[in-house]
Chains A and B, each alone.
Chain A
Amino acid sequence: MTEQRIAPDFERRLQDALRSYSTEGVRAFNPALISERARSAGVGPLGRAWPRGLLRRVDPRVLRVALLVALLAVALVIALAGSRRTVPSLPVPGLVAIGTTGQILVGDPLSGRFQAFPAGAHDTTPVWSPDGKRIAFSQIGGRDPIQVVDADGRNLHAVIDGMGAGEPPAWSPDGARIAFAGYRYPGGAEPGLWVVGADGTGPTRLVASDAHPNRLAWSPDGSMIAFAQFDGEHSYVHVVDVASGAVTLVSSPLVDHLEEMAPLAWQPGKVALLYARAAENLGHDLVIAERIDGTWVERPLISDLLAGAAEPMWLDGQRFVFLRSSLGPGTSSLERRPVVGRADGTIERVLGDAPIEPVALGCVAPDGSGAAFPVGTNGTPDAIDLLMLPTDGRPATRYPAGAWVSGGVACSWQAVGP
């Protein structure tokens, strides 16, 4: 496949070390033993012949006719798809930033004009400032500090030197401060959740933690920061009081930690968080945790998401978008569809007419009228399209965003600044 990027130095050394280390497990094999053990299991792949044999038995003339019919059908589908692409796009003006490896793509999806800003060597995690004028980002896997760049790609600078950070940062609602998961570099000392002024002043370690705080999200009133933390078995949601540094455990175990890097979702107008967690028996539940009389209370919102759910993002105070997984028809592989849910636990609609495979985290329009997901162009990872999905059920529209170096971590959608 195409993800054979040139590994940065550490990745290359790690790869060399791991490949050498893995040879310790190599032993000579005994083919007779393998075959005998497999047979002793009482099972075997005996059965149908490979489909090639079937094809050989089919009359070539029948194959030619079938091929012609298939080609005509494909042409018809392409023609129909082309006529649907004239649907007008979303009415929301704004800019979307997409982080990939070594660059940030910033553009106005309505005009289809995207510009690539160089941004270090690793996967980037752009997050718009609340006023839409700046973008903060970290470099996943990098040792670089949080950096900020203006929306036009100028004035790229480190917010604070001598600190590494590896998770998407979070702006305070007033844009004055940035929260990030970081540590002193070099050396790795003082790991935890840090807060620093957007101008680099007053760095403070708010939470001392070697457990990789992630999914940072500042509460709308700026008094709390929600974050997830992995304890070696599961991730849990916590909230830290910005003024006192007091940390409160909010959640039961979250969904499989492999999936998520999306910021936790504060419900507009409430002191409540929306996230997916492992269901009691199988699959995931979408859950709202609300602080009532000083105590956090979890309430299942949508259950029985057997194949999984991820990335819930509020559109407004009552509606949210999340990715729902399900088994594809006739296959054992999962496919994902964006779904609009409501705070009363109902499903409003499924967005788009086909499953999607995002290459980075999605984002929602500032006014909640749409959701966007970076996807590979034509299903390949060579270039990125931004798939825009109106939340009122209109058809999706694709906008070419640019070359995809590799990686791909986050997308952020912001109204145009004044």
Chain B
Amino acid sequence: MRAMAEDSASLELLVAGACAGDDAAFTRLVAAYHEDLLRVAFVITGDADMAADAAQLAWQTAWRKLRNLREPDRLRSWLVAIAANEARQLTRRQRRRSVVEIAVAPESSTAGEPTGAISRLDLTNAINRLTPDDRELIALRYVMGLDSFEIAAARGRSASGIRARIARVLAQLRRELDRD
């Protein structure tokens, strides 16, 4: 997957093919990036079903708007930004449900984690306390590895504002997770 993503020539051809209506090309794009979309959407929604819906909606949007993508090299950040947006909207529609702290650790929450690692239980609770906007930021930054310029471009905001907000979210998470 990553090898294909880094091969800008083949990526450009795939995008061009998908734009021209080539189902096979579009399917290859889906195969390459679907997991990325699901992972980002899951961090934002906290729910695998909603994440799958968000990814599905994101591909529909991508199918519609792919020809507007002027820089195929930015396809991955463009796609995950679309999925993040869909996930954020889905979450907002359902956010009236109250946030419930997970009181019982999942079976695999700490098993096999190295010393000093953040437990799954603590992380889940801390993420649940963030807004969908903030979950999107940390998903794009820390799960997808996008930098503030890429996130800013995706969100239509300034890179400095994105950095400031990420720093603030980081401080909040650190205070909640890093009470050593």
Contact = CB atoms under 8 A, between A and B. Distances in A.
Contact of B131 (A3, A22, A52, A233): A233
A214 interface: yes
Contact of A183 (B18, B20, B175): B175
A255 to B, nearest CB: 10
Contacts, number: 214
B180 A186 contact: yes
Nearest to B149: A1
Give the residue among B31, B35, B142 with the most A Cβ atoms within 10 A: B142
B16 A50 contact: yes
A52 B12 CA distance: 10
Contact of B174 (A10, A37, A49, A123): A10
Interface in B82-123: 116-118, 120, 123
Contacts of B173: 14
A140 B159 contact: no
Nearest to A138: B171
A120 B42 CA distance: 34
Contact of A31 (B18, B30, B131, B157): B30
Contacts of A50: 12, 15-16, 19-20
A22 B141 CA distance: 13
Contact of A45 (B63, B127, B153): B63
B170 interface: yes
Highest count of chain B CB atoms <10 Å: which of A24, A27, A257, A333:
A24
Contact of B21 (A25, A44, A143, A167): A44
A18 B123 CA distance: 8
B165 interface: yes
A35 B27 contact: yes
Contact of A3 (B34, B133, B147): B147
B63 A44 contact: yes
B176 to A, nearest CB: 7
Interface residues of B, number: 76
Contacts of A252: none
B2 interface: no
Interface string B160-174: 111111011011111
Interface residues of A, number: 76
Contacts of B118: 13-14, 16-17
B124 to A, nearest CB: 7
A408 B64 contact: no
A257 B138 contact: no
Nearest to A375: B160
B158 to A, nearest CB: 6
A212 B172 contact: yes
Interface string A1-13: 1111000001101
A21 B135 CA distance: 13
A21 B30 CA distance: 22
B20 A49 contact: yes
Contacts of A360: 160
A322 to B, nearest CB: 13
Contacts of B43: 18, 21-22, 25
B67 A45 contact: yes
Interface in B3-18: 12, 15-16, 18
Contact of B40 (A3, A22, A34, A41): A22
Interface string B22-64: 0100110011001100111111010010011001100110011
A26 to B, nearest CB: 5
Given A22-B139, A29-B34, A336-B158, A258 B133 contact: yes
A141 interface: yes
B38 A27 contact: yes
Contacts of A263: none
A3 B149 contact: yes
Interface of B: 12, 15-16, 18-21, 23, 26-27, 30-31, 34-35, 38-43, 45, 48, 51-52, 55-56, 59-60, 63-67, 116-118, 120, 123-124, 127, 131, 133, 137-139, 142-143, 147-150, 153, 155-165, 167-168, 170-180
21 contacts: A1-B149, A1-B150, A10-B170, A11-B142, A14-B118, A14-B138, A18-B139, A19-B143, A21-B42, A21-B123, A22-B42, A25-B51, A31-B31, A34-B59, A45-B19, A50-B12, A166-B171, A188-B179, A232-B131, A258-B157, A261-B161
The 5 closest A-B CB pairs, nearest first, are A25-B42, A3-B147, A50-B16, A22-B39, A166-B171
Given A45-B65, A261-B168, A359-B160, 12 more contacts: A18-B143, A22-B143, A41-B60, A44-B21, A49-B16, A50-B19, A140-B170, A143-B178, A259-B157, A260-B164, A407-B163, A408-B163
